[in-house]
């Protein structure tokens, strides 16, 4: 557990360090080319862990608190500016140049996401085929005629190649009212169109959009046989070994791995008497699942992974790969889709059509960063791209103290012909800080609720 936490913390620091540097470098690079003098380029806040003076007397700093960064520019509103350098002050720059400098931060986040997706698409992204499993009786999916083994080909007008494509499309059209045409290929190879009532995400907080309509991803039946153990995990500490077959626990028998995994997840920190079979010999082993944060609160985890037949994974996965030029086009489209998706989710939360519990803070981000990094470079790069898009979109929101708030002032200045008054900007700053504190408090609350369980 300690090792996992440290790894997740390191992954979070790398994630924030990379994306904050990209964002602030956008402001820095464009400011320099617009003739505005940069005084300090800081990644992180607080006590400076590292400091260096570069060309043009720019101070480069790495702060101890990696939860943000800033680019400080010469500005007559903040300090006395020597007359010889007054023309290089930010406040003296034309409104067009100020817009370019402020917009550059989010723009560089989007550019980073495009580059990351382009690399992934050019090298090939392995993902899960959009196969469906059991359909809940009486659900919207059952009424639409969905069956176990259906593979989604298209939702409305959007082609679907992976399970992620299907989830994003369902969330995009989630209004609880419209009927979506969903093209599928059934287990017999026949193509059909099923008409599905769009899900309502008003109460959903865990991203389980499929379950909202009575669907689930296809999960092949796997025998409860251990394939690998997590070093230092509860299963290894209890003496379990690869090849052990889990028969049951506390006199409850398991038919497959899914039943065993669900049993463990529901019992964090509880001592379990696990019946196994090892080389044909029945044994009972005492295992206490570790407690880890989950989407619905604390979950149990023993650190054991199922033995998967070698040919099974190949049948359930699909590799998405493009030629370099097509990869770049697809990367732009992916970044656009994720940006629109983020905006729509924010809009739905604002009007109460999606739960505020979808807002995540640093604890959840750290967990996701650690999980993606542990999978491999491609998964971590995809995670960086996703967070970079979110950072770009959030910074463009018209909230004072964010880039979007400053852009709103400058656009108003373009229309009005004169800058927004200092008094109005001061009020806006206070309101902006209040909104940010509220959002940060909600994000931390959601993190703690996931970690310890909702009160």
With beta carbons less than 8 A apart as the criterion, state whether 343 and 189 touch.
no
User: In a 10 Å sphere around its CB, with 0-12 CB exposed, 13-18 middle and 19+ buried, how is residue 188 labelled?
Assistant: exposed
SS3 10: helix
E strand intervals along 198-336: 226-229, 245-249, 252-253, 272-278, 281-287, 290-294, 297-301, 304-306, 317-320
Taking the C-alpha atoms of residue 90 and residue 88, their distance in angstroms, rounded to an integer, is 7
Closest CA to 126 of 403, 376, 441: 376
Taking the C-alpha atoms of residue 201 and residue 215, their distance in angstroms, rounded to an integer, is 14
Q: Which residue has the tokens 């108003």?
A: 412
With beta carbons less than 8 A apart as the criterion, state whether 85 and 74 touch.
yes
Closest CA to 303 of 294, 290, 293, 284: 290
Closest CA to 367 of 269, 303, 308, 295: 295
Q: How many residues does the chain have?
A: 455
Strand bridging mode 125-128 / 245-249: unpaired
Which residues neighbour 302 within 8 Å (Cβ) at sequence distance 6 or greater?
A: 233, 234, 235, 238, 240, 264, 287, 289, 290
Cα dihedral sign, 366-378-160-194: negative
Closest CA to 259 of 271, 248, 244, 275: 248
User: In a 10 Å sphere around its CB, with 0-12 CB exposed, 13-18 middle and 19+ buried, how is residue 82 labelled?
Assistant: exposed
Cα dihedral sign, 175-179-181-182: positive
Q: Write down the catalytic residue from 24, 151, 299, 357.
A: 24
Is residue 24 part of the annotated active site? The answer reads yes
Phi and psi at 242, nearest 5°, equal: -60, 135
Residues with a known catalytic role = 24
């Amino acid at each position: 557990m300690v090792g996992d936490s440290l790894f997740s913390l390191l992954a979070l620091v790398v994630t924030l360090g990379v994306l904050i540097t990209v964002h602030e470098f956008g402001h820095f690079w464009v400011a320099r080319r617009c003739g505005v003098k940069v005084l300090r380029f800081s990644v992180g806040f607080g006590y400076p862990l590292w400091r260096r003076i570069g060309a043009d007397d720019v101070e480069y700093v790495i702060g101890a608190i990696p939860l943000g960064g800033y680019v400080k520019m010469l500005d007559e509103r903040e300090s006395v500016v020597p007359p010889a350098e007054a023309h290089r002050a930010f406040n003296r720059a034309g409104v067009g140049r100020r817009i370019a400098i402020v917009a550059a931060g989010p723009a560089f986040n989007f550019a980073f996401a495009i580059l990351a997706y382009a690399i992934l698409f050019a090298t090939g992204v392995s993902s899960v085929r959009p196969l469906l499993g059991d359909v809940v009786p009486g659900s919207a999916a059952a009424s639409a005629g969905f069956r176990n083994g259906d593979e989604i080909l298209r939702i409305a007008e959007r082609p679907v190649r992976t399970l992620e494509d299907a989830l994003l499309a369902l969330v995009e059209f989630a209004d609880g009212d419209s009927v979506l045409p969903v093209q599928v290929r059934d287990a017999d190879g026949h193509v059909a169109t099923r008409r599905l009532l769009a899900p309502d995400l008003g109460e959903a907080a865990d991203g389980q959009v499929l379950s909202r309509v009575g669907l689930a991803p296809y999960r092949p039946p796997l025998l409860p046989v251990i394939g690998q153990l997590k070093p230092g995990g509860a299963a290894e500490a209890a003496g379990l070994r690869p090849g052990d077959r889990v028969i049951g626990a506390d006199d409850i028998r398991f038919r497959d791995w899914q039943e065993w995994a669900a049993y463990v997840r529901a019992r964090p920190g509880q001592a379990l008497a696990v019946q196994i079979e090892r080389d044909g010999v029945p044994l009972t082993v005492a295992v206490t699942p570790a407690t880890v944060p989950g989407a619905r609160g604390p979950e149990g985890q023993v650190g054991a992974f199922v033995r998967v037949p070698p040919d099974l994974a190949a049948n359930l996965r699909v590799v998405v790969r493009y030629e370099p030029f097509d990869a770049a086009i697809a990367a732009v489209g992916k970044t656009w889709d994720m940006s629109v998706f983020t905006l729509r989710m924010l809009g739905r939360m604002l009007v109460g059509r999606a739960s505020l519990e979808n807002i995540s803070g640093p604890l959840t981000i750290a967990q996701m960063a650690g999980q993606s990094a542990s999978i491999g470079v491609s998964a971590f790069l995809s995670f960086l791209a996703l967070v970079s898009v979110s950072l770009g979109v959030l910074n463009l929101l018209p909230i004072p103290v964010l880039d979007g708030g400053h852009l709103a002032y400058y656009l108003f200045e373009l229309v009005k012909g004169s800058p927004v008054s200092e008094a109005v900007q001061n009020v806006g700053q206070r309101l902006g800080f209040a909104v940010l504190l509220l959002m940060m408090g909600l994000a931390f609350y959601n993190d703690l609720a996931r970690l310890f369980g909702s009160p």
